[in-house]
Amino acid sequence: MQRMPLLLFDLDNTLLPRDAAFRAWAQDFLDEHRLPAGDLSWFAAIDGGGYVPRSTVLGAAKRRYGLDHSLEFLLAHYRRGINSHIHCPAAHIQALHSARAAGWTLGIVSNGNTRAQLEKIRRTGLAPLVDGWVISEEARCVKPDPQIFEIAAERCGVPPTHEWTSHTWMVGDHAPADIAGAEVTGLRSVWLHHGRPWAEDGYRPTLSAAGLPEAVGLVLTARNAPGSRPHQRPGSRGTFATPASSLAPRTSVADGRHPVSAAAASFPQQYATLSTARPAAPTG
């Protein structure tokens, strides 16, 4: 019996345009406090693409503008605001439907706070579009640890047993977490370059794409994918590899979009698994 192929996705800035939501929240913040509109660039810089702790970002804003609000108030304002702006683009939803119609099992692998990431998955309508997910805080392991990818496979109904990796791809935008994680786990990968240069010397993605729809299309059209060369080393320069000249440039960023507690609390099973039935093929 042929194994069901598995396609795993990062969440922030892969499935969801997290940075755009942050900029929208920052613009609202500036407007509400009657602050200079030009300071949007300051917020974008200190945000670091989400890899800087929120307490650092908001604490700096509090000092910069002499705000009387407590840090707890600002954190609550931030969480409400960014989640109100986050959405899953229609083109991404269609890409997921296309992968589903082609027979792929779909999952999400995300580093971050469980409740925050779970709210994004549910608020944006991703929950019924995938077979399962894993979030680093509740799983007590973080990308690029191979364990988190194995947990994701299990939750998606794909036992991580003999040669499961040859039938699995990972799509993500953050090289040290997503692409390095795929490399050390033995998965093939697609890196979303978003116009950045590639700067990692020790490993490479199997393929590179400008955005999620292109990434899914590349996986679906890869010759004899999935599993055509089960013993090929992920990221090797074989049939599936993107030539170095085709990889968009990438800048280095700090690891870990959201800090993960070393002693994560215990979360209900509903946070860790998905019981929603697989959706039907797209209707339009």
Eight-state DSSP code of residue 132: E
**Could you give the number of structural domains in the chain?**
2
Other CB atoms within a 10 A radius of the CB of residue 12 amount to 24
Cα separation values, 81 from 26, 27, 237, 239, Å:
9, 10, 43, 44
- For residue 267 the two structure tokens come to 């979360």
Chosen domain end from 69, 85, 101: 85
| Cα–Cα dist 163/165, whole Å | 5
- For residue 136 the two structure tokens come to 């680093």
Tens of each residue's pLDDT in the chain, 284 residues:
456 899 999 999 999 999 999 999 999 999 999 999 999 999 999 999 999 999 999 999 999 999 999 999 999 999 999 989 999 999 999 999 999 999 999 999 999 999 999 999 999 999 999 999 999 999 999 999 999 999 999 999 999 887 899 999 999 999 999 999 999 999 999 999 999 999 899 999 999 999 999 999 999 998 544 444 433 443 333 333 443 334 544 333 333 354 333 323 333 333 333 333 333 322 23
pLDDT of residue 4: 80
| Cα–Cα dist 84/86, whole Å | 6
Residue 251 lies in a domain: no
pLDDT of residue 265: 30
Residue 110 in 3-state DSSP?
Answer: strand
121 and 237, same domain (yes or no): yes
Chosen domain end from 33, 67, 85: 85
- Cα radius of gyration rounded to whole Å, the chain: 19
Q: What is the CATH number of the domain that holds 161?
A: 3.40.50.1000
What's the pTM value of the predicted model, to 2 decimals? 0.79
Question: Any idea which residue has 């994560």 for tokens?
Answer: 264
Structural domain for 80, as ranges = 18-85
| Cα–Cα dist 246/113, whole Å | 34
